[in-house]
Structure 1
Amino acid sequence: MSQGRIAFQGELGANSHEACAAYFPDYEPVPHPTFDEAFEAIKTGDCQLGMIPVENSIAGRVADVHHLLPNSGLKIIGEKFKPIRFQLMVNPGVKLEEVTTVQSMAIAISQCRKTVKRLGLKAETVGDTAGAARMLAQTPDRTRAAISPALAAEIYGLEILLRDIEDERHNTTRFLVMTAQSEPEPPPFTSPCITSFVFRVRNLPAALYKALGGFATNGVNMTKLESYMEDGAWTATFFYAEVDGRPEDRGLALALEELQFFSERFEILGVYPADPFRARA
């Protein structure tokens, strides 16, 4: 019996769907065409959780998500790292030597370009990796293959000819687990934690330098700092940051106090357990 619903962006069989199935097997995965719609489903309560990709070890950050996060009204309650594996799949019975064209999302093709080049295939881009598999299933073609996650082959009845064809084995996507709860249950104190927050510095000379000084003097490790453009202005004064620890830790508490003194806006987006993948990477 399902414990609830978890929203993701993309089609059934996408990498985000695989992440939902792997980490929240008791939740019903619910696909959405856009990140805006996935966020809205969480906010309205149609879905209790969201599995949202924020960065990839090859492609970098997911820009749409980072612009939605600060004003989403959602909270981060977890992070999950998922190795990205791509499969070359075809309609049942098709042999590799019959295939002349491969279709997938542009970024997936680029991450499998060595295999595509070795096989001498013509690449055609579509909007979604799982969508490439669905389209191939709906319109069978013995000369075509799709580059998609393994789950897509299972869902759409395709056969995998070549497994794990990505160029780089370190290809990994980091997902954030989101909720609409305004005060989610804090993680256990036995778990190493990450604190994510946004802030806008005051209009003062060297404001960012002063705002961040407390993290260095209090020995707090800042693992991410990214700037945003607001309202078309070319001055970057709005930032998203992640640090090791939780706000109750004395060092981080002092650092955040100093940050807020030099900021006109400050909001914690989430305090959540660090994925064990961090220690293995």
Structure 2
Amino acid sequence: MPQKIAFQGELGAYGHEACVTARPEYTPLPCGTFEDAIEAVRSGSADLGMIAVENSTYGRVADVHSLLPKSGLHIVDETFVRVHINLLGKVDAVLSDIKQARGHPVILPQCGEFLRTHKITPRSSSDNARAAREVASGDDPGIAALASELAAEIYGLKVLAHNIEDNARNTTRFLIMAREPDYARRGPHGMMTSFVFRVRNIPAALYKAMGGFATNGVNMTKLESYMVGGEFTATQFYAEIEGHPDDHAVKLAMEELGYFTDLLHVMGTYPAAARRHEKAGSAT
């Protein structure tokens, strides 16, 4: 039986593109929500999950960092997808025909300049690939979808305009989740470790908790806070560092962090993607 990788969205979504790029040997499994994709892995319906966590233009994907710690899954890899937004129409449509373009609310402002220039009205859809499917099944040549070229191939649409995103480096980062962790690998571009923690209720706890990373020379690439349980006083932090928990410096930093926290959970250790080391202007 072929292995499966779950993603949020319909076939042709950018999550589908991430699956095809990063795990071409797996069969993509579309899921309605991130919760559904996580549950597919947890239940064994899928072997891996491809979860979008942040976009270079839009920022953090809402709710994902609060979903992942509760998932019971482990991060085993990361991948970056260059998000090329394309205007997809019926096969007999031309750009001047298009009066309305449909896409996910996140993607609409990412190509706002193009839509304004061509006097195209943006309309929200729950999923970019769904918008493409609905354009294909509809009969209005004045309606287009904002989606990937993969979606155009799947639904038999014509690309009326390529790469219309405002930001030339528009990129989405995905985390690959599995039921079991994998601490054995060492990546050619270094390792990343993701974890969540909650500091103890003592003065300057966060400052003291972070001190161990500075004194041990461990680079923290991300630190984000979010509320848990709807309480303003119950703030949890999501962090990412360069290194492996077995590294001496990381081990010392994590031990010091433990002194000032009442919750510390490592969500995964995984190879850093080569894309992390690209210089500005090198993205394609």
Compute the displacement of 1:97 (Å). Answer: 2.0
Q: Which residue in the other structure is 1:159 paired with?
A: 158
Superposition deviation, residue 106 in structure 1:
2.0
Q: What TM-score, normalized by structure 2, do the two folds share?
A: 0.95
1:225 maps to which residue? 223
Q: Specify the alignment match of 1:246 in structure 2.
A: 244
The alpha-carbon deviation at position 253 of structure 1 amounts to: 0.6
Question: 1:122 is aligned with what amino acid?
Answer: T
Distance 2:43 2:108 in 1: 35
Q: Which moved more, 1:199-208 or 1:69-78?
A: 199-208
CA contact (8 A) 1:3 1:27 kept: yes
- Specify the alignment match of 1:19 in structure 2: 18
Conserved? CA contact 2:189–2:273, under 8 Å: no
Aligned alpha-carbon RMSD (Å): 1.3
Tell me the residue number matched to 1:279: 277
Contact 1:196–1:271 (CA under 8 A) maintained in structure 2: yes
- State the alpha-carbon separation in 1 of the partners of residues 235 and 126 from structure 2: 33
Moved over 2 A (4+): 183-186, 188-191
CA 1:146 to 1:222, structure 2 compared with 1: closer, same or farther past 3 Å? same
Equivalent position of 1:118 in the other structure: 117
Q: 1:216 aligns with which of 207, 214, 217?
A: 214
Cα separation, partners in 2 of 1:94 and 1:191, compared to 1, 3 Å: closer
1:115-264 correspondence runs (5 A): 115-181=114-180, 183-188=181-186, 190-264=188-262
SS of residue paired to 1:215:
helix
Judged with a 3 Å threshold, the aligned counterparts in structure 2 of structure 1 residues 45 and 33 are, in CA distance, closer, same or farther, namely same
Which 5+ residue runs of structure 2 have no aligned equivalent? 280-284
TM-score of the aligned structures, taking structure 1 as reference length:
0.96
Q: Distance in 1 between matches of 2:229 and 2:124?
A: 32
* Corresponding residue SS for 1:67: helix
Structure 1 unaligned spans of 5+:
none
Q: Secondary structure at the match of 1:89?
A: strand
Residue matched to 2:52: 53
Partners of 1:184 and 1:252 in 2: CA distance:
17
Partner secondary structure for residue 244 of structure 2: coil
Flag the 1:189–1:59 CA change in 2: closer, same or farther, 3 A. closer
Worse overlay, 106-115 or 127-136: 106-115
Quick one: distance in 2 between partners of 1:98 and 1:147?
A: 15
Identity of aligned residues (%): 48
2:282 matched residue in structure 1: none
Cα contact 2:37–2:49 (8 A) shared by 1: yes
Q: How many residues align?
A: 279
**AA of the residue aligned to 1:173:** T
User: Separation in 1 of the partners of 2:145 and 2:45?
Assistant: 32
Cα separation, 2, equivalents of 1:249 and 1:185: 12
